[in-house]
Structure 1
Amino acid sequence: MEHYIILARSVTYAQRMQKSLSRAGIRCQIFRPPRDLTDLGCAYAVRVAVSVLPEVLTALHRDGLNPVQIFLYQQGQYQEVEA
């Protein structure tokens, strides 16, 4: 299943992202990202559907939340994408 993961610098920041997306009507899930995607020990990620990325970025920027990195999960691999 394809999806995007948006890296956050902490669990608190990921929770803020989740609240922002929830207010915008976007479903998401917080989880710990794979270790090979980040060197930040306390990083968390928010998973969203591929079809909603433009709305996700709009909602996050509106609320002043900036992702550390964004990755597309496709065919068992992660590929970094530009925000």
Structure 2
Amino acid sequence: MLYCIMVMSSVTYALKAQTVLSREGIGTRLEKLTRNRSLKGCGYGLRIEKSKLSEAEALLKREGIKIVEVIEY
């Protein structure tokens, strides 16, 4: 399974995003990012299945939660 990490501007927004996505049945995992993984954002992101990324981005945009960066791996 392929995953990506959505980097948020703060841990508060990461937790809000996790709540929104969970409510819609999209599973995520909060991860602390190392400096070499992301130079943007707060150092926290949500790991999500790559196949759910587009749906998650649309839901978060609708809720006014900005994704700073998406890291694919």
Give your verdict on TM over 0.5.
yes
1:43 aligned onto 2:43: yes
Provide the aligned length of Structure 1 versus Structure 2: 73
| Partner-residue secondary structure (3-state), 1:35 | coil
- Equivalent positions of 1:3-82 (< 5 A) are 3-39=3-39, 42-73=42-73
Specify which structure has the bigger relative contact order, considering alpha-carbon pairs within 8 angstroms and separated by 6 or more residues. 2
The one-letter code sitting in structure 2 at the alignment partner of 1:16 is K
Task: Kindly provide the amino acid, as one letter, of the partner of residue 36 in structure 2.
Answer: D
Question: TM-score normalized by structure 1?
Answer: 0.78
Gaps of 5+ in 1: 74-83
User: How far apart, CA to CA, are the structure 1 residues paired with 2:40 and 2:2?
Assistant: 24
Structure 2 runs not aligned, ≥5 long: none
Q: Rg bigger for which structure?
A: 1
- The share of aligned pairs that are identical, in percent, is 36
- Deviation of 1:38 after TM superposition, in Å, equals 2.6
Q: Distance in 2 between matches of 1:54 and 1:41?
A: 20
